[in-house]
Amino acid sequence: MRRLTCTPLALNAAVASLRTLYSAQVEDHYNHPRNVGKLDKTDPNVGTGLRGAPECGDMTQMQVKVNPDTGIIEDVKFKAFGCGSAIAASSYASQAIRGKTLSEALELTNRQIAQELSLPPVKLHCSMLAQETIQAAVENYLSKNPSLKSKVQKKQTKDASTPLN
């Protein structure tokens, strides 16, 4: 049996090619993800969203805890399984919606996430996954608190399906 070895030069080339795929922002959120964990999904003030991207195997769960008096998202937790971009997109999104109203959280688009992280076109599905998971968490929260549905306005946007140029 032949043993495969990796020369330092080949390893350096592999690392360099990964660095061109992942921006500094993606590397930061991947290496130091924010808000990882989970909240009590039985809490009526917690909404849970779970979404997956079958084309690459990424899976994300995001939870929002909403202050019932103010309607502000006071805590966000996520768990993501997948590539560095999927983890980074969820980490960034969790930071972006903390302290926001549900309506404001729904306004965060995949385009904003992708631009903030400098995602290449091949990784745009990761930003869409983060956006869809936020939407699912808000929908779950509203299903537990139906009297609030009329107060939450979802901004209609084409960003979710519009590719970046």
Q: Is the pLDDT of residue 158 over 60?
A: no
Q: Which of 21, 39, 50, 56 is catalytic?
A: 56
Residue carrying structure tokens 């993800």: 33
7 belongs to a structural domain: no
Q: Is the pLDDT of residue 4 over 90?
A: no
The structure tokens listed for 145 are 């608190």
Please classify residue 67 by burial: count the beta carbons closer than 10 Å to its beta carbon, then call 0-12 exposed, 13-18 middle and 19+ buried.
Answer: exposed
Whole-number pLDDT of residue 20:
58
Q: How many domains does the chain have?
A: 1
Q: Is the pLDDT of residue 5 over 90?
A: no
The mean pLDDT of the chain is 84
Whether 83 is a known active-site residue: answer: no
Residue 24 pLDDT level (bands cut at 50, 70, 90) = confident
136 belongs to a structural domain: yes
40 belongs to a structural domain: yes
Q: Is the pLDDT of residue 2 over 60?
A: no
Per-residue pLDDT tens digits for 43-66: 999 999 999 966 778 999 999 999
CB 118, CB 89: distance < 8 Å: no
Q: Is the pLDDT of residue 7 over 70?
A: no
Whether 6 is a known active-site residue: answer: no
Q: Is the pLDDT of residue 164 over 80?
A: no
Q: What is the CATH number of the domain that holds 114?
A: 3.90.1010.10
Per-residue pLDDT tens digits for 63-122: 999 999 999 999 999 999 998 999 999 999 999 999 999 999 999 999 999 999 989 998
34 belongs to a structural domain: yes
Per-residue pLDDT tens digits for 32-41: 889 999 999 9
Q: Which domain holds residue 108?
A: 23-145
Q: Is the pLDDT of residue 131 over 70?
A: yes
Model pTM?
0.79
First-to-last C-alpha distance (Å) of the chain: 48
Q: Which of 46, 62, 73, 126 is catalytic?
A: 126
- Long-range contacts of the stretch 112-115 (C-beta < 8 A, 24+): 112/159, 113/89, 114/89, 114/164, 115/164
Could you write out the DSSP letters of every residue in the chain?
A: -PPP---HHHHHHHHHHHHHHS-HHHHHHHHS-SSBS---TTSTTEEEEEEEETTTTEEEEEEEEE-TTT-BEEEEEEEEES-HHHHHHHHHHHHHHTTSBHHHHHT--HHHHHHHHT--GGGHHHHHHHHHHHHHHHHHHHHH-GGGGGG--PPP-STTTPPP-
1 belongs to a structural domain: no
- What φ, ψ does residue 41 adopt, rounded to 5°? -70, -15
The structure tokens listed for 54 are 């079958």
Whole-number pLDDT of residue 129:
95
